[in-house]
Amino acid sequence: MQIFVGLGNPGSKYAANRHNIGFMALDRMAEDHGFGPWKSKFQGKIAEGMLGREKVLLLKPETFMNLSGQSVGEAMRFYKLESADVTVFHDELDLAPAKCRVKMGGGHAGHNGLRSIHAHIGEAYQRVRLGIGHPGRKELVAGYVLHDFTKADQTWLDDLMRGLSDGAPHLAAGDTGKFQNAVALRTAPPRSSTTAKQKPAEPAAPTPDTGEQTDARSPLQRLADKFR
């Protein structure tokens, strides 16, 4: 069994925030892959189901972002799992919007949700970093991540959610390459060729040579010529 954790803040006030992209990813997976109903447990919301042949628990901590580790640690201990059985989906400022990268272990880079998880289960868990872009200046970060995605973001955001859901069974099976390929097929599909050579126009069929010249005069001109 594995635990897929989506990071975010609970409540309708935060539902469409950039910081809640982890919640959004799990909601899409649960819907597309027929997971059971969401239930309250482990200081969060959980849903159980299958991704391919793997049994997976989806967990959305409801402790608020900076206490996410409490929920994750409780669920991990209940199922007697290791940190390596946990995959966390979270927003990533250092990636351009729609970009997705998978990483095992490492630091938390100042992300409060990851910082809390580090404190409760260590750093040896897998992360799926979901790019939301950077506002440009450090002092703008807090307001940026706690602001809703814009209307202009909706197309790439939907493509990213579809890709994450498409690739989820590969991720659960441990094939991160196929997972990222599935995401890329949604977010950056191969372009169809727009430079295909056009079929050359066929030359007009030649007029058969009958040995007679064609009279291009109008009937009125021919009648007038008879009296000249």
Domains within the chain, CATH numbers bracketed: 2-187 (3.40.50.1470)
Amino acid at 73: G
- Tens of pLDDT, residue by residue over 168-223, are 999 999 999 999 999 999 999 887 655 445 555 555 555 444 444 445 556 656 55
Write down the pLDDT at residue 150. Answer: 96
* Whole-angstrom distance, CA of residue 145 vs CA of residue 15: 12
* Whole-angstrom distance, CA of residue 98 vs CA of residue 96: 6
- Tens of pLDDT, residue by residue over 149-181, are 999 999 999 999 999 999 999 999 999 999 999
Write down the pLDDT at residue 209. Answer: 44
Write down the pLDDT at residue 219. Answer: 60
Q: Report the pLDDT averaged over residues 118-142.
A: 96
Structure tokens at 147: 């602001």
Quote the percentage of the chain above a pLDDT of 70: 84
Q: Which of 112, 81, 111 is nearest to 93 (CA)?
A: 111
Q: Which of 3, 8, 5 is nearest to 112 (CA)?
A: 8
DSSP letters for 46-78: EEEEEETTEEEEEEEE-S-GGGHHHHHHHHHHH
Angle (nearest 5°) at CA 123 between 74 and 48: 40
Place of tokens 């030359």: 203
Q: Report the pLDDT averaged over residues 59-72.
A: 97
DSSP letters for 156-182: HHHHHHHHHHHHHHHHHTT-HHHHHHH
Write down the pLDDT at residue 125. Answer: 97
Q: Which residues are catalytic?
A: 19
* Whole-angstrom distance, CA of residue 87 vs CA of residue 26: 11
**DSSP annotation of 11:** S
Q: Report the pLDDT averaged over residues 26-42.
A: 97
SS3 127: strand
**DSSP annotation of 148:** B
Write down the pLDDT at residue 191. Answer: 78
The answer to whether 95 and 129 are in contact (CB under 8 A) is: yes
Write down the pLDDT at residue 213. Answer: 46
What is the average pLDDT score of the chain? 89
The answer to whether 109 and 94 are in contact (CB under 8 A) is: yes
Q: Is the pTM of this model over 0.85?
A: no
Write down the pLDDT at residue 139. Answer: 95
**DSSP annotation of 12:** T
Q: Report the pLDDT averaged over residues 140-150.
A: 96
The residue length of the chain stands at 228
